[in-house]
Amino acid sequence: MNDSNIGKEISGYRIEAVLGRGGMGVVYRAEDVELAKKVALKVINPTMAESEHFMRQFRREGRSLARISSAHIVSVHALRETSLGLTLVMEYVDGNTLKDRINSGTIDVPESIRICREILLAFKDAHSVEVMHRDVKPANIMLTHAGTVKVTDFGLAKVHDPNSDLTVTAGVSGTLKYMSPEQVQGLNELDWRTDLYSIGLVMYEMVTGRLPFGDSDGGYTIQKKIVEGRLDPPTIYNKDLPKALVQFVTRSLAKDPDRRFQSAGDMLAALDQVEVKLGLREPTTLTATREIGVSKDPPKRKWVPVIGVVAILALLATGYFLWPRAALGTLVLESSPSGATVFSEGRSIGETPLTMDSLSFESVTLTLQLEGHTPVDTTVLVRSASVARVVVSLAPVSVGPLTGSLRIDSTPRSAAVFIDDELRGSTPITVDAVPAGSRSVRIELDGYKSDSRFADVEPGSEPEIMVTLQKVGVASGSVMVRTTPAGASILVDGVPRGTANRLIQDLSVGSHTVRVQLDGYDSAQQRVRIRGDRQENLTFVLEQLEVVPRVGQLDIRSIPEGGEVLLDGQSIGSTPVARRDVPEGEHVVVVRSPGYRDYQETVAVGAGETKQVQAELEKVFGIVQIRVKPWAHVLLDGERVLDEVGAVARPLQVSANEVHEIEAQNPSLGVRCKRTFQIAPGALLPVFFDLDSSVTLPVASIDDETNEGFSGAEIIINNKSTGKFTPESVEFVGGCSYDVVLMKEGYQIKSRRITVANGQSEPISIRLGKQD
């Protein structure tokens, strides 16, 4: 890239090359002349220095990086004013981004694990000093030519001040496709687990070469999928991924933060286990961290319970005790989360964290238990003459029951009940702890035909099965039951017998009541007489019930008022707005207004319930750079904002996403030049007025009825009379917009907004209609 600063020495740094450039600034590769060391200089665009929010974000990035000491995070050397402006002096990384590496092809599993490990080491260091990144993505992760990870771009970092109850935030955004559900929902209380979710997505992308979103998915679809939907499992895009790695990624991407890894350390420990299961590393062996004294008196050997990690850890002994001078060990036991109870041979011996001294190197079997988490059983060998620290990661158990119950009765009773071919008792019976799913049920009684069917068991449910058994050798018949529409439930004498259209067999001779029912329709029933060895037929035409919609109300307001409201993507008016026919369930409310950032909230509305949505809209801005030749006062939307603007560009902050009118006025030249524009958030828009550029154009008036030109209409430009009458030539400044009005007695006054282009020769013609 061409840049006039290249080759210059500025504030002690020799500029060598441009590494990147954007609307917010530029990053240079430079040499620290004094230290003869390569550095990266991140320099703010001078026009952005007018934005207090941007300056705060830039300083936040420097301070966030300065808090962290990590081999895998780009270090900051200084934040200083130079002749280039405010400059962040950082470590120079010679390499490419992880995004570049992914774009070149899927990364194999061992290499992906290695990269993920170094990313987690970076975030373990960052989180240890209360710094969150909140914009983790492959484009913000550098890989040196040696393959070492360097995390960069902490511009959206969040820093918690331990001496304050307040959280200082440098931004509330991120990159949508890598956001956690809580980040998409705009929750204020984000924690470290937001970064860990994004790291899980980075791992997903490394091993599959893509993200779990469709190429055509828009922003709303992606947000809904992150918060409510189901992300595609990575095996859809790479069927050869090992199960252990898939489980690691799946847990990383849990929608509930409590079901993810709770820290970068937890995630590293889980990654260790993935490598062990894949045969990429040996099980962890702990070594001594410091020497301890040797006892003068011979110790009594005893069993001491300790805690292991999820896999069996061995603290291997270096040798046998030398009697009578034996070296003893110390073990510091912790768990994540803490507070777990430690059991040895069924006896509780304390809670984590726990420190145990004077340990011999004998093995012991232990159990670690914490409510709501899966217990851990392990065997540990204690190494002598050492102090070791063991951290146990406890996995949360699944929320909610995974079993249900079945209530089974029969006529006659005392029939044997089999569930999935296992005898569970006799009728009447309630069978608990039945695994959820479709279960086979068989009921048998001597002298009667057995009854076999399937029962659907939902977690926490208790379905009931009632059976009338038929005697062996007794005459029976059948009935074919049809319904319109099909699929209605069939009950014979109150006992469920499947769904229509269905042949019901083994009915005893005599009268039976057949009842059919279907959601949304009136139930119906008929009596049928079974005559034996004969099929009867019943047909039911069900009448649809009038459905009373279950709706609630949404009252939506905004500050300021007048914002457009979209309910589930459909515009329903402007704030304040009340919608009284909102279907029961969850809905996405978006409030948008020109010049403001879109506000989004997911609202759960119950039947008969009124929910309030109060949207406080946040202003968004862009920067307009204005130059004028020779000079002019500048008005924005009719208000004078800058005086005597000349050839040197003057920055002006304006609200984004709305149409503005900018006007340059030069009283000495008698020139007023207008233009309209719209700017995107954070954008930089150059505007140049050349008031020395003139275009002379004829102005003509045309009769709207006769389609012929006529003379004598007064020409008024921008509410000021020119003293000329049509047809006449008028001098304009090229590149400007004008309000041209023609007035003549007997005709209606007609105004027209025109934009005059430089070099334009086409005349200005305005049609006037006669007054009634």
CATH of the domain at 503: 2.60.40.1120
Same domain, 55 and 149: no
Nearest-angstrom CA–CA distance, 700 and 710: 8
Same domain, 604 and 557: yes
Residue 2 lies in a domain: no
Same domain, 341 and 320: yes
Nearest-angstrom CA–CA distance, 734 and 697: 11
- 443 closest CA partner among 424, 470, 415, 471: 415
Cβ atoms of residues 352 and 334 within 8 Å:
yes
Residue 112 lies in a domain: yes
Residue 24's pLDDT is: 65
Which CATH number characterizes residue 731's domain?
2.60.40.10
Nearest-angstrom CA–CA distance, 766 and 616: 46
621-629 β-sheet, strand order: 650-655, 621-629, 684-690
pLDDT averaged per 10 residues, the chain (length 772) = 81 87 76 88 73 67 72 84 82 90 90 94 86 86 91 58 34 70 76 92 94 80 83 88 92 90 89 88 44 31 32 32 44 74 68 66 64 68 59 64 81 88 87 81 86 79 84 78 90 85 82 90 90 83 82 92 91 92 91 88 90 90 91 92 91 88 86 86 88 88 92 90 92 85 90 84 89 81
SS3 call for 17: strand
Cβ atoms of residues 730 and 717 within 8 Å:
yes
Cβ atoms of residues 310 and 340 within 8 Å:
no
Catalytic residue among 135, 153, 195, 266: 135
The domain tally of the chain equals 7
Judging by beta carbons within 10 Å of its beta carbon (0-12, 13-18, 19+), is residue 524 exposed, middle or buried? middle
- 310 closest CA partner among 233, 245, 395: 395
- 44 closest CA partner among 87, 98, 94, 8: 87
Same domain, 571 and 429: no
Close Cβ partners of 333 (under 8 Å, ≥ 6 residues apart) = 306, 307, 342, 352, 353, 354, 355, 356, 390, 392
SS3 call for 685: strand
Last residue of a domain, one of 662, 690, 718: 690
Same domain, 154 and 244: yes
Count of CB atoms situated within 10 Å of the CB of 140: 23
- 474 closest CA partner among 524, 425, 510, 423: 510
Residue 1 lies in a domain: no
Tokens 């009447």 belong to which residue?
A: 428
Same domain, 84 and 174: no
Nearest-angstrom CA–CA distance, 392 and 338: 9
Residue 546 lies in a domain: no
Last residue of a domain, one of 349, 369, 399: 399
Same domain, 426 and 535: yes
> Quick check: is 135 catalytic?
yes
Same domain, 138 and 53: no
Same domain, 34 and 181: no
Residue 376 lies in a domain: yes
Nearest-angstrom CA–CA distance, 555 and 615: 11
Residue 130 lies in a domain: yes
Residue 361's pLDDT is: 45
Does the N-terminal peptide bond of residue 576 adopt cis geometry, omega within 30 degrees of 0?
A: yes
Residue 310's pLDDT is: 33
Which pair of structure tokens corresponds to residue 214? 């469709």
Residue 749 lies in a domain: yes
Which pair of structure tokens corresponds to residue 758? 């430089």
**What is the DSSP code string of 472-516?**
TTS-EEEEEEEEESS--EEEETTEEEEESSEEEEEEESEEEEEEE
Judging by beta carbons within 10 Å of its beta carbon (0-12, 13-18, 19+), is residue 729 exposed, middle or buried? exposed
SS3 call for 90: strand
Residue 567's pLDDT is: 92
282: which DSSP letter? P
**How large is the angle between the packed helices 109-128 and 264-277, nearest 10 degrees?**
160
Nearest-angstrom CA–CA distance, 555 and 603: 11
Close Cβ partners of 100 (under 8 Å, ≥ 6 residues apart) = none
The residue range of the domain holding 613 is 551-619
End-to-end CA distance of the chain: 66
Nearest-angstrom CA–CA distance, 341 and 376: 11
**How large is the angle between the packed helices 192-208 and 109-128, nearest 10 degrees?**
170
Residue 302's pLDDT is: 32
Going through 531-576 in order, the beta strands assigned E by DSSP cover 535-541, 551-559, 564-567, 570-574
Same domain, 237 and 217: yes
Same domain, 214 and 323: no
Cβ atoms of residues 332 and 391 within 8 Å:
no
> What are the b/e assignments for 287-306, b being 16+ CB within 10 Å?
ebeeebeeeeeeeeeeebbb
Residue 3 lies in a domain: no
Same domain, 500 and 481: yes
Last residue of a domain, one of 619, 650, 666: 619
Which CATH number characterizes residue 207's domain?
1.10.510.10
Going through 61-186 in order, the beta strands assigned E by DSSP cover 76-82, 85-91, 95-97, 131-132, 141-144, 149-151, 158-160, 167-169
Write down the pTM of the prediction. 0.41
Q: How wide is the angle at C-alpha 599 spanned by C-alphas 636 and 214, nearest 5°?
A: 115
What are the Cα distances from residue 536, in Å, to 476, 484, 509, 529, 539? 12, 18, 12, 8, 10
Residue 284's pLDDT is: 44
Nearest-angstrom CA–CA distance, 205 and 218: 19
Residue 322's pLDDT is: 32
